Structure 1
Amino acid sequence: MLFSHLGFEPRIHPDAVVAPTAVISGNVTIAAGCQVLHGAVLTAEGTPIVLGENTIVMENALIRASSTHAVHIGAHTLIGPMASVAGADVGEEVFLATGTRVFNGAQLGDRSEVRINAVVHVRTTLPPDTVVPISWVAVGDPLLILPPDRHEEIWAAQKELDFPGYVFGLDRQTPDLMVQLTERYGRSLARHAQDVPVD
């Protein structure tokens, strides 16, 4: 299903294949040789999404560009089932395994591997050829790669990266943070009410 959003229609190369149950919304460019499988969602919320040639987006993966963070996926990259990429720059020949999460402002170097259920946190940089092990967390720049049981170390690095400030423009110390966050984000997402299906 293709949708116009904020006046932009998806641009899909004729040699790309997009499953009929995938959702492509807004300023999305899909290059030659790409495969976007069933249930995948690519939604450009104000900045573009660009898939390089021969990229594969597997079932139920989510790629989301926010109003301030575009998504660029390099050529010959595979995004596994149920993986999500939000506002990140992913290099060429990258492997994002099933269930991985890549957050806003992250930069993944060429040939990186993010293995099953691993996380690349907001504003984190993976140099080329980096491997994030199964369920581990990559955080920061300079990079730390930590197992999930080292939560205090992950949180110490994460806190400095300021997820609510960087992604939503809200101070973490705001007393009603979640009220402001959901109301602001909800207003932004409500713009989809004006989406128009593209024939």
Structure 2
Amino acid sequence: MRYSHLGTEPRIHPDAVIAPTAVISGDVTVAAGCQVLHGAVITAEGSRVVLGENTIVMENALVRASSTHAVHVGAHTLIGPMASVAGADIGQEVFLATGTRVFNGAEIGDRSEVRINAVVHVRTVLPADTIVPISWVAVGDPVQILPPDKHEEIWAAQKELDFPGYVFGLDRETPDLMVQLTERYGRSLARHSADRPLPD
């Protein structure tokens, strides 16, 4: 299903194939040869989403741009089932495996692989041809790639990247952080109440 969001409609190349249960909302460009499978959601929350030629977005994946972070995905990239990309730049010929998470401001170089359930954290830069192993965490610039049991090392790098400040504009030390975050983010997401479905 295609939706107009914030006055902008998706632009889908006639050679692209979109499953009937996929959702594409707002300022989204889908290039020739793309495949967007069942349950996938591609949504532009105030910035653009651009899928390059022959990109595949598999079942139940989420690709989301925010008002401050667009999404660009290079040609011949595969975004696996249940993967999530938020406000990131993804190069060409990249493989994002099942369940991967890529956060705002991340950059993933050409031909990189982010394997099953791995994470590329906010503002992290992966050079071309980088591999993030299964369930490992890539964090920072220059990047550190750490196993999930290295929580203290991950947190040390992650804390400096300031997820709540960078993504939501809120200080982590705010006493009612989650109250402010959910109210502010909720107001932004409520803009979907004016979305309208587009004819097929």
State the TM bucket, normalised to the shorter chain: over 0.9
Matched with 1:39 is 39
Q: What RMSD over aligned residues (CA atoms) do the two structures have, in Å? A: 0.2
Between the aligned partners of 2:124 and 2:178, the Cα distance in structure 1 is 24
Between the aligned partners of 1:10 and 1:101, the Cα distance in structure 2 is 24
Query: How big is each residue's C-alpha offset from its partner over 1:49-90, in whole Å with a ceiling of 9 and x where there is no partner?
Result: 000000000000000000000000000000000000000000
Between the aligned partners of 1:76 and 1:70, the Cα distance in structure 2 is 19
State the secondary structure of the residue aligned to 1:69.
coil
1:115 and 2:91 correspond:
no
Matched with 2:61 is 61
1:104 and 2:100 correspond:
no
Between the aligned partners of 1:183 and 1:173, the Cα distance in structure 2 is 17
Between the aligned partners of 1:52 and 1:130, the Cα distance in structure 2 is 20
Unaligned runs of 5+ in 1: none
Unaligned runs of 5+ in 2: none
Question: For residue 21 of structure 1, what is the amino acid of its counterpart?
Answer: T
Between the aligned partners of 1:18 and 1:86, the Cα distance in structure 2 is 20
Q: How does 1:1-199 map to 2 (within 5 A)?
A: 1-199=1-199
Residue 172 (structure 1) shift = 0.5
Between the aligned partners of 2:169 and 2:66, the Cα distance in structure 1 is 12
Residue 181 (structure 1) shift = 0.2
State, as a whole percentage, how many aligned pairs show the same letter: 86
Between the aligned partners of 1:178 and 1:52, the Cα distance in structure 2 is 36
Between the aligned partners of 2:100 and 2:151, the Cα distance in structure 1 is 18
Residue 164 (structure 1) shift = 0.1
State the secondary structure of the residue aligned to 1:186.
helix
Question: For residue 127 of structure 2, what is the amino acid of its counterpart?
Answer: P
Residue 27 (structure 1) shift = 0.2
Residue 171 (structure 1) shift = 0.5
State the secondary structure of the residue aligned to 2:14.
coil
Residue 186 (structure 1) shift = 0.1
Q: Normalized against structure 2, the TM-score is what? A: 0.99
Between the aligned partners of 2:196 and 2:59, the Cα distance in structure 1 is 24
Number of aligned residue pairs: give it.
199
Residue 117 (structure 1) shift = 0.1
Between the aligned partners of 1:131 and 1:86, the Cα distance in structure 2 is 19
Between the aligned partners of 1:64 and 1:11, the Cα distance in structure 2 is 16
Q: Normalized against structure 1, the TM-score is what? A: 1.00
State the secondary structure of the residue aligned to 2:42.
strand
